[in-house]
Amino acid sequence: MKPRIYISNDHTGVEMKQAIVKYLTSLDYQVTDLGNVDGKSCSYASKGLELGEKIAGDKDCLGVALCGTGIGISIAANKVKGVRAGLVSELETAQLIREHNDCNVIAMGARMIAVDKALKLVDAFLKSEFAHGRHEERVKTINEYHG
């Protein structure tokens, strides 16, 4: 069964988000849009935290986070316990954040990459799985940190 996908964006990611939602729904993913829809200025921090809360509350889901650079929204999402958001801009990284880091959120910069590339990155992320093995202890260390 395909995981539910939560997607969120600030005002800079509306166009990219719309393309990703269209792409994912064409592949029969259930997509819940938490993002900005009108392009009016909004807080990437609030959008990232909201996404993080949804991801933390639904262990069988994945997330997509978009802001101008992808940095701010990923930092915000990562503040929520249980979220592992990775910022990507190339295919190998999109794959490795799942395989090595068991990331449950892919973050991208709407001002940094083209929409067609974003679709390829999301695809690589979704087709990859956690490799376990030597990576398990590292992810466990991150998950158990309470600092």
- From the candidates 100, 132, 135, 146, give the one annotated as an active-site residue: 100
What is the pLDDT, as a whole number, of residue 138?
96
Nearest to 38 by CA among 67, 9, 7: 9
Tokens representing 2 are 């395909």
Burial class (CB in 10 A: 0-12, 13-18, 19+), 81: exposed
Q: Where are the domains of the chain?
A: 4-144
CATH among 3.40.1400.10, 1.10.3720.10, 3.90.1150.150, 3.90.190.20 for 4-144: 3.40.1400.10
Active site residue 100: yes
- From the candidates 61, 67, 135, 146, give the one annotated as an active-site residue: 67
What residues in the chain have per-residue pLDDT under 70?
none
What is the pLDDT, as a whole number, of residue 35?
97
What is the pLDDT, as a whole number, of residue 91?
98
What is the pLDDT, as a whole number, of residue 30?
98
Angle at 92 between CA 88 and CA 95, to 5 degrees: 80
What is the pLDDT, as a whole number, of residue 147?
76
